[in-house]
Amino acid sequence: MSIIRVAVSGQPNCGKSTMFNAITGGSARVGNYPGITVDRLEGVYQQNGDSIHLVDLPGTYSLTSYSMEELVARNVIVDEHPDVVINMIDATALERSLYLAVQFMEIGAPMVLGLNMMDEVKRNGVTIDVKKLSTLLGVPVVPCVARVGQGREELMKAVAAAYKASNGKWKPIRLSYGPELDPVIERMTAIIAEAGFLVDRHDPRWVAIKYLENDEQVIEEGRAAGSLSAKLEALCKEAEVHTRQHVGTTPDAIIADWRYGFINGLLKQGVVSGGDELRRTSSDSIDRIVTHKVLGPVIMLAVLWVMFQITFTLGAYPQGWIEDGFTWLAGIGTQYIPEGDLQSLIVSGIIGGVGSVIGFTPLICIMFAMLVFLEDLGYMARVAYMMDKVMRIFGLHGMSVMPLIMSGGIPGGCAVPGVMCARTLRSPRERLATILTAPFMVCGAKTTAYLMLVAAFFPDNPTRAMFLVVLAAWGFVLLVSRLLRSTLVKGESTPFVMEIPPYRLPTLRGVIHHTLERVWQYVKKAGTVILAVSIIMWAVMTFPKLSEETVAGYDAKRDAAAEQVKAANPDANEENLAALTEDATKAIEDEQNEEALKNSFGGRVSQFISPVTELAGFPWQANVALIGAFAAKEVFVSTMATAYSMGEVDPEESESLSEKLAADPAWTLPAILSVFVFMLLYTPCMVTVVAIAKETNWKWATFSVFGSMAFAFAVSVAIYQIGKLILV
């Protein structure tokens, strides 16, 4: 029995994953490519004694390392050296789709071409001569309709035949790139081959072409390999000067032109006939409205608003059920576990922490389902097209809009799905800038804190105050994105090369399948790390405890208060006496909680940093509340309540706390504005930090913690100090 290793490739929206699912059925398993978060799907197909092992590559437009997906697809081909590559292409856009196929042929991988959507081709009155296309390309070509599984078996037979015909040998094709580049390519190829430079992974001519395309990953690899890289880069600069002087463009543009020229020449040999003018007519008609200069943005905002409302309105019900379930579980823990540290750890630390993560799952599920639907429909590509010019000014990408909205661009969002939503960005730089700034938005948890603060300090104009907070969030996101793209995430913006696919109604099965994959990844990843972080935060806010003498002193006060109540109400029954005693001892209980909070590591840190935070005008109560809010921003309200000796306060009903804050002279206007801005910009909550780590790495997650903290503090100090000069 032969084991055939196959990579399934294709451009986004070409039906690649649909065909992969049709071939592998329920055998596919989900994983990740090593070190990154791009999903890796694998499955097996048995045929005539052959075991065909398939891996589904990320959807890519090319094999140049503009995006993580393109880099992953290329590295799988280069490093894993599959026996055969299946390249699924959209037959309704043959010229565009063959661009990726040509690049696979340049690498030399044995390939089978799957012409998907042949039913649409016929419906549009177009005829593709499959046999002639196969002959001209020199690879097997199989017509398919992936959504109904048509062509699946023929594709697998072609794979087995290609495997046997290639006998494990790769044969790169040699395209001409014209008189301006061919000489330098030949010269560089000879130098690379003679020195054995990078030839253990790549074909020498391919390396030369990638240097001319200014492929960052190959150039970095070359620099690490030796000094020859400098010589090759010098030749590339000479070539660029030459091409700019003679043809007014760059080598990479010439290479792309000649590839398309090769494809055009091939198709003009009678491969495609009839009905060209009919293709995409319906999509073009829809786009006249959907991407219209005025109507397009209005429709886009409406779609985003509807998505937002559905996610956070509809999702609130199952989220509430899950939270109720964890509350019930905490009640069970409180009832059956003896009172003490173990009970506190399990109930407050573990159940509370894990519950906060699992509670987001319904929002994630609903949001991803709609996102997958819009992606498969072809609408997200149009959103990116419309917003790209504006977002590019600030170093972002058109696709950044969706993560920012989800994170709280409209108050009430959540940074966790927002950060995960940034997966739709193809460019790594713009994606990273989006992920790092999305937590600045006014998420639902921050909204509860701001509602309390606004009610305390701006009771006459709460709507205007909240509106200004939201505007400030957008302003900081754009400014910080520009700052990041000019410094730490420096580099030219990725070219906007996304093709606009025709509209195509997604299948229910496809939407469910892809949604559940993403949701499971979230639960599995976030749920494991967050447990450890929850326990740490619980310990920080719990230990060390008050001394036995101090606790005994409070017990004595409670006993004395109870005796006074008993003496003052000699005729009260047992139930009334208990209620009166509880009221009388509540102030003592709150005072003890406040002292316990001050005595904990979190409280001690708060007091320790007070001399520093006084520069920003923070009252000590805000210090400890902001530390506690790292666990979840909602904790800000409850910790402030404890710090103001008010016991537990429901974040949704915090009027009494607002009154107490308003009466505190420490909250001057400069201090209020300083805390408002700090709350907006400082460290994301721990769930978001974990999500950032999983979507990037722990280095950037750590930066999001300390970088945001430093930036927020600097801005807050500036606001407070300037405010004191002007307003006080």
Contact call for residues 380 and 468 (beta carbons, < 8 A) = no
The response to whether 395 counts as a known ligand-binding position is no
The response to whether 709 counts as a known ligand-binding position is no
The response to whether 525 counts as a known ligand-binding position is no
Largest Cα–Cα distance in the chain?
108
Helices (H), 489-628: 508-542, 548-568, 574-599, 601-608, 610-613, 620-628
The response to whether 59 counts as a known ligand-binding position is yes
The response to whether 684 counts as a known ligand-binding position is no
Tokens of 466: 């909240």
Nearest to 450 by CA among 235, 252, 640, 209: 640
The response to whether 37 counts as a known ligand-binding position is yes
CA atoms of 546 and 207, how far apart (whole Å) = 67
Cα 696 from chain centre: 9
Contact call for residues 661 and 669 (beta carbons, < 8 A) = no
Tokens of 374: 């819009």
The response to whether 380 counts as a known ligand-binding position is no
The response to whether 57 counts as a known ligand-binding position is yes
Amino acid in the structure at residue 108: G
CA atoms of 28 and 704, how far apart (whole Å) = 35
The response to whether 129 counts as a known ligand-binding position is no
In angstroms, the Cα distances linking 139 to 65, 88, 118, 142 are 25, 13, 18, 10
- Bridge partner residues of 54 (DSSP): 6, 43
Handedness of CA 402, 406, 407, 411 (dihedral sign): positive
Contact call for residues 635 and 651 (beta carbons, < 8 A) = no
The response to whether 39 counts as a known ligand-binding position is yes
The response to whether 444 counts as a known ligand-binding position is no
Contact call for residues 267 and 96 (beta carbons, < 8 A) = no
The response to whether 24 counts as a known ligand-binding position is yes
The response to whether 21 counts as a known ligand-binding position is yes
The response to whether 58 counts as a known ligand-binding position is yes
Tokens of 687: 């769930």
Contact call for residues 100 and 70 (beta carbons, < 8 A) = no
The response to whether 56 counts as a known ligand-binding position is yes
The response to whether 443 counts as a known ligand-binding position is no
Nearest to 598 by CA among 615, 583, 620, 582: 620
The response to whether 17 counts as a known ligand-binding position is yes
Q: What is the 3-state secondary structure (H, E, C) of 663-700?
A: HCCCCCHHHHHHHHHHHHHCCCCHHHHHHHHHHCCHHH
The response to whether 35 counts as a known ligand-binding position is yes
CA atoms of 109 and 112, how far apart (whole Å) = 10
- Relative to beta strand 39-47, strand 50-56 is antiparallel
CA atoms of 361 and 40, how far apart (whole Å) = 22
The response to whether 460 counts as a known ligand-binding position is no
CA atoms of 600 and 543, how far apart (whole Å) = 5
The response to whether 542 counts as a known ligand-binding position is no
**Which residues make up each annotated binding site for GTP?**
10-17, 35-39, 56-59, 116-119
Q: Which residues are annotated as a binding site for Mg(2+)?
A: 21-22, 24-25
Residues making up the annotated binding site are 10-17, 21-22, 24-25, 35-39, 56-59, 116-119
